[in-house]
Structure 1
Amino acid sequence: MAMKVLQAFLYLCIFDQSSGQPIQVGTYVTQDDLDMASQAAAKAEQACAIASSMTIEDRATARAQLEDASANNILLEIMQAARNQNELQTLAAEKLPGAMIGAAAPLIMFFIILIIYALICCWTACPFCKCCRCCQRQRNIPFLVKLIALVLIGSFVLALVIVSSLSTRGYASAQEGFDVTNCAAATLVNSTFTGQSDPYFLGLIPVLSIFDELEGSLSSGSSFINDLRAILLDTSVITDSVAVATENVNLLASMLSDTRNTAPAGTLHECLACTPLATSLSQVSNALSSGTAAALSAARVEVDNQLSGSSLTTLRASLTGATAPLVELKTTIKSAFAPFVSDTLMEQISEQLNANGTIASVFMIGLALILSLCAMIAVLLWMCWEKSSSPDYADRKQYHKTVHRCACCTWCCSCYYTMLAFFLGGLLTILAVPLASMCLIMEDISSGLLTDISGVMEVDMSGEQGAMMGKMIDQCLKNASGNPRLLDLITVDDVNGNPTTMYDLLVVQTQDQITSQFDQIGATVNSGGGAGIAGSAEFVTLKSMLQTVALDSLMVPSTSYAWESDPDYQGIFLNSEIAPFIASSARCTSETIPMNLGLPKEGEPVSGINAFLSTMTSSYTLSSTSRSPTCAADFTCKALGVGANDLNATDRAACEAARKLMDLKYDMRSRNFKCYHFMRDGVVPCDVSSMSQLGNGAWTGDCKNADGTFTVASYDCDLAAFVQLVQDYGGYLDLVFTRLDGSTTAALNKIQVDLKALPDSNFLSKITTIGNGVTCGFMGDAYQNVVEGLCYGGVWGIKAVASSYTACAVLTLLLIILMYIQWRLALDNVNSNVKILDHTAVVPA
């Protein structure tokens, strides 16, 4: 029985108040499970009403007595030496007999006394065997000696009554121990199957029932999956809107960060507005990624990712895999503890101990009292009525036969009592050896000890499986204060083959990933992130920058270039009227940069190409050549009113440098820039200017491909087209963000409330319940109760009864010796007196 209990608890560790909902029969929960749980609950209530716990007054002493009874834990020694069951049997046959010699001493004494009684005592007591009674003569025993004998017998009688009454304590302890074991076993089954509140454990049946519900919820066509698909489809507009807005922001950012647009090679010009535009665009992008719309979309996408496609298949497989050890555990518990629950094994043992133990105890005590009374009577007769005057001879004393007959009757009956006590004490002592040894193993079980006896227990302690079992034994069975989550102690591989705990696999990687997205929604809304992006300060600034400032008005000669040291352009600084145009823009017209937009040259006028040409005309006679379609005309320099040859060197140098600067302007306006646009389905160029909402809530013209992705392509364009495209994006972004804000408002409640509630009630809350409810703290309490009841109650009680019987036998043996001496003395006096009186009589024993 002890071995079965230990194996059951080990299987508890291999697991490699209830939910409040009615438990129904399903894939993993059978009607037989429900019946056993009901029986366990009733049995626990009934058994624990009799005895739910026991008090061990001196545990150290009781432990020492168990160690003594176990022959120095001989079973552990054999189990540590054996590598399998066959070796266990072989070693047990070799070592147990020698180790149990001490335990068999009372039984050996039984046979010795039986032989002595049969061959010696009975022979010497036989009336026809007087010749065997050596040293026969009449002895006058002083009264003081008889008084001492009376005192010794009285001491023996008192000790005999005391030690024989100790058997009553042993039977009571054994009965209490088995009652406690019965209660602990029934409670264990009840707690394992239906759970308990302190320490909290959900229970196998509720857990398996939840797994049944989860598998049903996650199956294709279930109401949960159908409702989930409907909400995901209904809220897909938010994900589409976020994607459209994000792709447009990214497209504009890519166009503004392309060095072919920001600093065209060979033009010595740079885009002063591109960096501030990129910064403002980044702020809008951050607002988009951290806003409510993105949080809603992320939550929706995460739910879709976790509960659809291959992830759903993997999740179902993980749930199915997690149930395997639970089902195995349930089967093991039912097999190991069925006698405690379904049968009345423990009740029968307790009843037998209560009835037969009491009878045996009363019988032994009664016999001891009768023998004691007989011994006292024999000694008192010996003291007071050993002899009297003879009726035939007035001067002679006659010895009474009653004295030696009473003594003979006492020691003969005491021999039977001694043999019975030695026999019963020996049997119980031998029985206690393996039981006490197994009890010590159960109490001392640990990861190290289990490793030593793993071969015999048929438990694999190698590798990760053994390490897990060791942690479970140390933290579950031997942890008296904690209540660790069992799923934290089980290591499995995730989908990528990386080791992780079962808790992380079921809870963190699924539940937390989804709930964290919904938490982000709440945090975003609470922090003010719920405001629409189209009306945000960041976007209003960006739109103003895009729409009110032409990009080429801030495409000016590079401020980091050393114009004064370049021979081609240093001459322009010789003419104070045209020198300022070294900072002129590539735009034809002059522009004044608006204030409060964060752009360079705010509030300053920036000269354009036309102003540059006009100033040159006022200083020189230009022979211009139109370079259509650009305003940056080519020209030759002449002095005003005279021929070209009349220009002095300084004026000519200034004019030639200006002409070369104009060539740079021409290059800027005529070279190819890189414009970006979408290519719908990789064929049709597209922008969102024609995007509109249909009557059913769907959108058209948003440049998505048929598969929902976006394709971005670049194409060659001139400066004017590039500038116009950037300005157009002020309206494009306004359109996509207006759509995004509308989708956010429409989807907020559906996602934050409806979508969150659906997986939470059907899946996430159940996963969390399993993860936090499958604990193992209850194992330690239950295991300790079983050990205390079975070992410190039952086995200790058996050993106490055995010790009591053995002590009774030893004391009775001393009484036999004393009464035998009295018998011989009294008998010899009678026989000697007969010879003296010339009588020949056979004195019967």
Structure 2
Amino acid sequence: MARIKLSATMFHEAVQKGSRSFALCVAGARVAMLKTLVLVGVVTGWAQSVTDQQTLDQARALVQKYCPVESGEINYEESRKTLELSAGNGNIVYDVLVQTAAAVREDETQNIASVLQDTVSPIFAIRKATPLLMAAKWKFGRVLAFQLLLWTSFVLLAAAVVSLCAMSAAEHESIEQGIQGTGCYSAQLLQDAVAGNRSLNFVGLVPAWEALDELSRSLDPNSSFLEGVRDLLDATVDLERAVNLVRDMLVSLQLLLDNSHNQNPPGYLHTCAVCEPLSIALVELVGLFDDGVALAMNTVRREVEAQLDGERVGNLRRTIQEAKEPVETMKEQMLQQLGYFVKEADDGFQKGTEALAGESSILYFGFLGVLFLAILVVIVGFLALTCYSSCHRGGEEPDPCVVRLGSGSSMCTSYIFAGTLFLIGGILLLVSMVGGGVCLAMVDFDQQTGETLLESLGVPRDDSIRLALKLADQCMSLKSDIESNATHNATRNVADILELPDPFKAPGTMSSLRRLMSDYVASQIDGVFQLLELVMANQPLRLADNPILTKFRGYVRSVNMKAMFWPLPTEIADHPVYSSMPIVFYPISILCDDLFLPPSLPEQLSNVYAPGLDSMVVDGIATGGGPRIPGLFDDQSVTWDCPSRLEGDCSGSNYGSGDCEAAKAFVTERKLPLLTQPLFRCRYLQKPGAPAGTRCDVEDMYKVNGSWINSCVHPNNTVTFFEQTCTITEFEENVRSFDLWFYRIFQYMDDIVEALVFRVADDLKALVYLHLVDPVFSLLDQLDCSFMRSFWKGLTDSLCFRAVSSFQVISSYYVWVASLALVMVGVMYIAWRISRDTADAFDPSSHTVVTRAIVLRNKVKQRIAQKASRTEVDSVPDPSPDPETSAADRSQVDALARRACGLWQDDCRVLLRDPSIELRHGTCASGAERLGEDEGLYAKQGENNEPLRPAKFMPWLEPDGGAFVPRCVGDAILKVDWVELRYGALVEVRLRYGPELQDVAPQYAKQFDQAKKDARKKGRKGGAMCSILVQVFPPSYRPSDAETQEGGTIIDESIPKAERPVSAAFPNRTPVCYDAMRSAADVLSQFVKDLIASIDTATKEANDAYEVCTDLVRKIGNTFQALDPELKDLKEQNSRLMQRMAAVSMDKDTVIKSSTNSKEQALRRATAKAKLDKQMVLFSKYDANKDGVLDKKEIANYAKKEFSFTVPEPAMNSLLQVLVDEGAKGVKKANFHRVRIHVGMAREKAKDLHRRRAV
């Protein structure tokens, strides 16, 4: 428990230190990178709004100050290379962001600071910080004097230094343009995005929010807009009544004519000749109604009512309210994030850039100051060289002091100048590195990049963040612009990008704002109003006097159903009785008298001659100008009363007896019932408020003082009909009644249309368009965010391709200038050195020149000699030790052998969970003892007749479990021992030659080969030696001499299966790891039980100790209350002890809980391991050929013996197809459990088949 407390305390301190480091690193990273490009916050940081109008005013002022931006062309390829150069190979800043984001996606705890620390390599840091390191190097090394053309070198260096400084000063213009462009484009975006710009087709976020708010208030159930809509809908309700009445009457007539009882009365072999022509003519009348003004007006009314009343208007209002939230959020984010660039705050963009651009620019004067210093350094050097050239005496006498003073001053001035520029250039280089990395992220920005940035910064991504990223991608990304130009499928309208929950589809479905507001609502309403305008421009208001209606009324008015029901010739010809009737009687109608149909009927019936029953029975059928065709009977031989009676003897008929009887039967059975019986279906209009089945008579509908009475429309603006059986006379009256019905209902509808047309077409339209349609279309069409891409391009051009790129160029120039200044220091040092040494040479008390030359020469020779000697030593080969090595080498090998054997012995003890076991037989000893050779137990296969069989019965044993034993090298002794354990398991223990020994002791390779040759000469078939191999075989595995598979071993079959832990074959031999080999499940289970017992014991001891402590505190707790105030320290110690007890109690409970969970997990694993071992025993049992897989025959044997079931051939083929890998011979061990499943499925299918056959 004490160790647990100590670990917890150390962990707590580490967490606190890590938290502080984390906070400092994160703060530093954000300040260094995000402040460099605050615009990235437009996408990543969404905050609260601040002083909107004031910010907009400042943005307008900034636009007037900085805009328009006048700048030259940008070479984007070269500028991007410069950015990549400034960022370093691989864009390290961007790579850090990507790595951090990837870690966050995998739920790992990462932050930018730690990843940056791990990512920045020392080489990268040194390369970037070299100028700073050079700036800190204030000590110049000594060089040998040599003759140079000082003036030529100095002039070239001076010209390069001054030129580069002048070019650096010229780059200030690009920086100023970049800063000016950044301010201009930021202010333009803020102004245009928030306040709007009609010329850019963007209404602005504030006007958009106000428009949405106005729409939301207009759609409030109690708003004046919806109240006005409801008033107009109530005022035009008669239009719906009239339209419903006319439509339903048209439908009712169509149903009446299409009724099968009316078209072809079942069984009577007659058809209605006028029904189909009337139906065709009715279609034309329905088309007139569908294309009329009345239906268009009612469609408008119903669409407005559907969209602006009930649930749909509520869904529309919620959609608008949901759309307000992201618009408000976007407005606030623009104001806050871009406010950094436009606000006149101390920490804002304007204040921060005053030192870089503008009239008060310090940066420009700094560049000019560097140029001035460069010119000053050149002038000082020029004067120093002039003094040297004119005053140097050529070694004849000492130079004047002014020569050394001038050259030394020039050298120091150049060195200070170089160090200063190294410092400035290094700072600019590091700044441009960070800026270049961020700029590359800006240039390549898209939605995926934005998500990467957010994940790397640890910003949670909700729906609003994803929406903002999508908006930024579609509206601003230059990369997305290239892709959209290639695919031509990207949109830049916020209404198409903004997605909200679709209330008209399944939950969770998202649709664009345009679809929700325009396609579902505004476009629907606009479409019906446009249709109404089209209909009113092409169709008359009134339809009652339309020729189509007049013609159809003439058809209905002229209908004579009795004359228009004609026999069906084909059905008569197929009838067994009526087929004998003379064919001349086929066209006879069911009317008693003959009739010429009136000309007002449809063309195919107009003026058609319809002979009646009188002509068929007695009068004969007229044939025009020819003789009449005789009827069935003469007047004297028949009794005929149409339509009730026909009696006559066919013997006196004008036709044959059979023909007469058939015709007579047809008249009495098929014609006369149609005239007298109710075989038809009539449709009548239900009278409102009356009992069901009460007709509403057309005569009751009339017009009084411009108002219609009794329109037969129910209060809910609908009409209903009912059907009843009727005779042909009633059917005819039912059809003819539609003449008057149509006249009056069309008059009724026309009067209402004329009265309400302006209320619908003008008043309702004006109200809906004013408050809904026009605002929606105007808003959605003015949300084009394409201008944001122009801003983003302008920002990247200004900030990245101009400002940051120029910083990189200037830093490179300064580093070059500093490097050249150091060369100038060398040139001036030559002049100073020569003058100094000349002066020393003429000093009688000094031999400095000679001393220095000798010392330097000796040091050089010494270094050359040392280097040569090291090269010779390294090139001398190390001779291999002789096989007969020294005693020291032998002892070293023996030590290795003892350590190897000891390690193996310890491993055996740990493996067998029994530290009391001692290995015997001297497994690491050498000598002439040949264990197992006399019993004939030899290996028989393998490259060196030495197979390695894996442990099949105890998989936790390594198949090659021994350590190498170099001590037995050269003995050529084969040591093999077989031990049979309880349960019949066989254990083979041998010392063998292993390849690992060659790697460890290659100097003994010859001895190894010779030992193997000697062993073969002496008749030994096994060549194994010098490493320990332990192999375990299950009781079911008893290899025989007939085995041919690789790795087989001949075993004496006389070895019995012992029931006790001794070897029956070798009773005088002590087995290796005696009595410790047990089943893996038994060993593991016992080990787990021991651990559980120790856990339970430790838990009980911890609880007991805590109880003792608690009892002690409880007993003496009251004593502290009575102590004197002077003993305050004891009370404080007691309080701290109580706190420690509470903490220990919590830790104790945590450890106990963790150990309990581990205990349960270990038990579950032990149980699972036992089950798995049991399955593997079954696998080995039925793997007859021991090839490690179960083939078709072995699987069949398994099913037969374990389940008494023969697997059907189709089931066996399916099993092999699924479980056998391609190229394999059978099912592997890993899939053995699936074999049991397939066999079980086959058994159940067989049982089901048996049960079905039994049924």
* Bin for the TM-score computed over the shorter chain: 0.7 to 0.9
- 1:549 corresponds to which residue? 559
Question: Is 606-615 or 358-367 further displaced after alignment?
Answer: 606-615
Q: Distance in 2 between matches of 1:744 and 1:460?
A: 60
Deviation at 1:780, TM superposition (A): 1.1
Deviation at 1:734, TM superposition (A): 1.1
- 2:1034 corresponds to which residue? none
Match of 1:42 among 61, 66, 75: 61
Alpha-carbon distance change, 217 to 702 in structure 1, aligned in 2, over 3 angstroms: same
For the pair 1:61 / 2:78, whether they are aligned, the reply is: yes
The within-5 A match list for 1:497-646 is 497=506, 500-526=511-537, 528-530=538-540, 532-563=542-573, 566-568=576-578, 570-571=580-581, 579-580=584-585, 582-595=586-599, 597-609=601-613, 615=619, 619-621=634-636, 632-637=643-648
Q: Distance in 1 between matches of 2:845 and 2:648?
A: 181
Q: Distance in 1 between matches of 2:821 and 2:802?
A: 28
Q: Distance in 2 between matches of 1:31 and 1:334?
A: 7
- 2:326 corresponds to which residue? 325
Alpha-carbon distance change, 565 to 312 in structure 1, aligned in 2, over 3 angstroms: closer
The within-5 A match list for 1:204-223 is 204-223=205-224
Alpha-carbon distance change, 272 to 476 in structure 1, aligned in 2, over 3 angstroms: farther
Number of residue pairs aligned between Structure 1 and Structure 2: 774
Deviation at 1:833, TM superposition (A): 4.2
For the pair 1:791 / 2:797, whether they are aligned, the reply is: no
Aligned 8 A contact 2:179 2:803 in 1: yes
Question: Is 270-279 or 819-828 further displaced after alignment?
Answer: 819-828
5+ unaligned residues in a row in structure 2: which ranges? 1-34, 620-630, 848-1255
Q: Distance in 2 between matches of 1:460 and 1:274?
A: 73
Alpha-carbon distance change, 464 to 808 in structure 1, aligned in 2, over 3 angstroms: closer
- 2:497 corresponds to which residue? 489
CA RMSD of aligned residues (A): 3.5
For the pair 1:382 / 2:388, whether they are aligned, the reply is: yes
Question: Is 163-172 or 811-820 further displaced after alignment?
Answer: 163-172
- 1:760 corresponds to which residue? 769
User: Any idea what the Cα deviations from partners look like across 1:168-196, whole Å, max 9, x if unmatched?
Assistant: 23333222211110111111111111223
- 1:22 corresponds to which residue? none
Amino acid at match of 1:203: G
Alpha-carbon distance change, 807 to 446 in structure 1, aligned in 2, over 3 angstroms: same
For the pair 1:350 / 2:353, whether they are aligned, the reply is: yes
- 1:19 corresponds to which residue? none
Residue 676 of structure 1 aligns to a residue whose secondary structure is strand
Aligned 8 A contact 1:673 1:719 in 2: yes
Alpha-carbon distance change, 665 to 457 in structure 1, aligned in 2, over 3 angstroms: farther
Alpha-carbon distance change, 450 to 221 in structure 1, aligned in 2, over 3 angstroms: closer
User: Any idea what the Cα deviations from partners look like across 1:579-604, whole Å, max 9, x if unmatched?
Assistant: 55x43333455432122532544213
Q: Distance in 2 between matches of 1:56 and 1:97?
A: 37
Aligned 8 A contact 2:112 2:456 in 1: yes
Amino acid at match of 1:524: V
% identical equivalent positions:
18
Deviation at 1:41, TM superposition (A): 2.6
Amino acid at match of 1:701: N
Deviation at 1:437, TM superposition (A): 0.3
Deviation at 1:10, TM superposition (A): 6.6
Match of 2:809 among 800, 812, 820: 800
User: Any idea what the Cα deviations from partners look like across 1:447-481, whole Å, max 9, x if unmatched?
Assistant: 45456556226688999997995696257522277
- 2:21 corresponds to which residue? none
- 1:748 corresponds to which residue? 757
Match of 2:370 among 345, 364, 372: 364
Deviation at 1:638, TM superposition (A): 5.3
Which is bigger in relative contact order (C-alpha 8 A, separation at least 6)? 1
Amino acid at match of 1:347: Q
Aligned 8 A contact 1:637 1:655 in 2: no
Aligned 8 A contact 2:50 2:335 in 1: no
Deviation at 1:346, TM superposition (A): 2.6
Aligned 8 A contact 2:425 2:812 in 1: yes
Relative to the length of structure 2, the TM-score reads 0.58
Deviation at 1:254, TM superposition (A): 0.6
Q: Distance in 1 between matches of 2:266 and 2:468?
A: 65
Relative to the length of structure 1, the TM-score reads 0.84
Residue 314 of structure 1 aligns to a residue whose secondary structure is helix
Q: Distance in 1 between matches of 2:613 and 2:458?
A: 94
Deviation at 1:256, TM superposition (A): 1.0
Greater percentage in helix: 1
Aligned 8 A contact 1:483 1:776 in 2: no
- 1:310 corresponds to which residue? 311
Aligned 8 A contact 2:559 2:732 in 1: no
Aligned 8 A contact 2:633 2:654 in 1: no
Amino acid at match of 2:769: D
Aligned 8 A contact 1:547 1:730 in 2: yes
Deviation at 1:155, TM superposition (A): 1.9
Q: Distance in 2 between matches of 1:728 and 1:66?
A: 91
Q: Structure 1: which 4+ aligned runs deviate by more than 6 Å?
A: 459-468, 480-483, 645-649
Residue 562 of structure 1 aligns to a residue whose secondary structure is helix
Match of 1:102 among 124, 127, 133: 127
For the pair 1:672 / 2:685, whether they are aligned, the reply is: no
Q: Distance in 2 between matches of 1:552 and 1:89?
A: 101
- 1:23 corresponds to which residue? none
Aligned 8 A contact 1:454 1:460 in 2: yes
Q: Distance in 2 between matches of 1:476 and 1:658?
A: 94
Aligned 8 A contact 1:475 1:484 in 2: yes
Q: Distance in 1 between matches of 2:213 and 2:635?
A: 94
Residue 775 of structure 1 aligns to a residue whose secondary structure is coil
Amino acid at match of 1:165: A
5+ unaligned residues in a row in structure 1: which ranges? 13-27, 122-133, 390-395, 574-578, 640-644, 839-845
For the pair 1:230 / 2:231, whether they are aligned, the reply is: yes
Alpha-carbon distance change, 814 to 204 in structure 1, aligned in 2, over 3 angstroms: same
Residue 707 of structure 1 aligns to a residue whose secondary structure is coil
User: Any idea what the Cα deviations from partners look like across 1:624-661, whole Å, max 9, x if unmatched?
Assistant: 597xxxx511232159xxxxx87798368527723641
Amino acid at match of 1:408: G
Aligned 8 A contact 1:633 1:666 in 2: yes
Alpha-carbon distance change, 735 to 385 in structure 1, aligned in 2, over 3 angstroms: same
Deviation at 1:397, TM superposition (A): 5.2
For the pair 1:92 / 2:85, whether they are aligned, the reply is: no
Q: Distance in 1 between matches of 2:670 and 2:36?
A: 98
Alpha-carbon distance change, 747 to 69 in structure 1, aligned in 2, over 3 angstroms: same
- 2:1213 corresponds to which residue? none
Q: Distance in 2 between matches of 1:638 and 1:837?
A: 177
Alpha-carbon distance change, 688 to 103 in structure 1, aligned in 2, over 3 angstroms: farther
Deviation at 1:816, TM superposition (A): 1.3
Amino acid at match of 2:356: L
Match of 1:704 among 702, 705, 713: 713
Q: Distance in 1 between matches of 2:762 and 2:95?
A: 64
The within-5 A match list for 1:29-428 is 32-49=51-68, 52-72=69-89, 73-83=91-101, 84=104, 86-96=110-120, 98=122, 99-112=124-137, 114=138, 116=139, 148-197=149-198, 199-344=200-345, 345-354=348-357, 355-387=361-393, 399-428=399-428
Deviation at 1:54, TM superposition (A): 3.3
User: Any idea what the Cα deviations from partners look like across 1:79-113, whole Å, max 9, x if unmatched?
Assistant: 2222348332211122236333211110011122x
Q: Distance in 2 between matches of 1:58 and 1:111?
A: 36
Q: Distance in 2 between matches of 1:95 and 1:607?
A: 109
Q: Distance in 2 between matches of 1:350 and 1:425?
A: 20
- 1:439 corresponds to which residue? 439
